[in-house]
Amino acid sequence: MAQNIIYMDNGDTSRIDDETLEYMNHFYTNSYGNPVSLHSLGMEADENLAEARRIIAGTINAEPEEIIFTSGATESNNMAINGIAEYLKNKGNHILISSVEHSSVKAVAHRLKNDGYKIDEIIVDSEGFIDIEDFISKIKVTTILVSVIYANYEIGTIQNIEEIGSICRERNIIFHTDAAQAYGKIKIDVKKENIDLMTFNAHKNHGPKGVGALYIRKGIKLRKLMEGGAHEFNLRPGTENIPALMGFARSAEIAQRDFEANNKILISLRDKLTDGLLKIDHVTFNGPKGTNISKRLPHNVDITFHYIEGEAILMHLSLRGICVSSGSACSSKTLEPSHILTAIGLKHEQAHGSIRFTLSKFNTEEEIDEVIKNVTEVVQILRSMSSFVPEEHSELISKNAKTFYKNKKAGE
């Protein structure tokens, strides 16, 4: 019998909704024309494309012609930052990003730095919120773009996007935000929040992989990065993936329809998981907490387990059928700790001992109980083998680990 899987890595990707998958099948098998073709199936596909654009635009209070479809958030981030840098290079060469951006923003910024652009990073506090005073102090007359992530993919911090956008709008600076984690979890209004460019996608929101969008406010100009056909308002050539785009639209509609109910469930599960894990000795809850908990993504829990490696916890949990992610970049095949966690003040060894749990509407209270139980056991086992545990704690940890192994041997 296959092992039952408890999936708590929805910040990386999520299971597609059954209703969305069933809806997409029609467009693979019956309505499969190319939107640029002039025959009946092509015209039908063009109508479907327009409908998907209309639906998705409506979820963020945008106009349909302000939505450019892409292959996902990474492409959207690259299109936004490279496109503005190229288009406005005669106006200025200074770009501001936060110190907690996704790699698809940071890597582009670093490449542009090698090409002669000036890049500055805005510092954040211990909960991941950008320092507004530091932000304002770093704005120059040559600043052409500011990019600040809407909600952090690791520690769940939701920035005050409206305030950041307002500061940029007053100074005539283009403002981009990566909302890949926020979309579907937070009500977004691009007009009210002074957003000029916004990245978002489908697969973190129970939609299909390989499809995303870039919102471009009317009047904002980007340099086209690829040559080819005149698709996507002559900004992004290539035949649109109609089945995936219709799935994107359907998953967006479902998220809008069930928004209040889903978030109520997610917050309840998140808080239950947090409370259970914080009963383990020597742990730290990373990101917004206490009075700032409402400024945290509803499905995000990030914990540092001191004195042990997060990768070891991850692998032990995986063997038990529990899927999570670590606070080290080991999952991306490097040995560097998460730059998010070091940016909020964690030491390298603390960042390496961190685990992120990201929940979904498919998780249950029973799964939360099972995860708390298994994490507690795994932490005790690993600490019993660790040479970094302070001497005053090692005897208790060793005793608890021996009790666990004895119970397991007895079949308890």
Q: Point out the residues that are catalytic.
A: 330
C-alpha to C-alpha distance for 74 and 83, rounded to whole angstroms: 14
Whether 183 and 204 have beta carbons less than 8 Å apart is answered as: yes
Q: Can you tell me which residue has the tokens 């978030």?
A: 263
Whether 140 and 45 have beta carbons less than 8 Å apart is answered as: no
Residue (of 399, 397, 355, 393) closest to 380 by Cα position: 397
Residue (of 3, 4, 10) closest to 356 by Cα position: 10
Own/partner pairs, 116-124, CB within 8 angstroms, 24+ separation? 117/85, 117/93, 118/93, 118/94, 118/142, 119/94, 119/95, 120/94, 120/95, 120/96, 121/96, 121/97, 122/96, 122/97, 122/98, 122/148, 123/99, 123/343, 124/98, 124/99, 124/100, 124/157, 124/343, 124/344
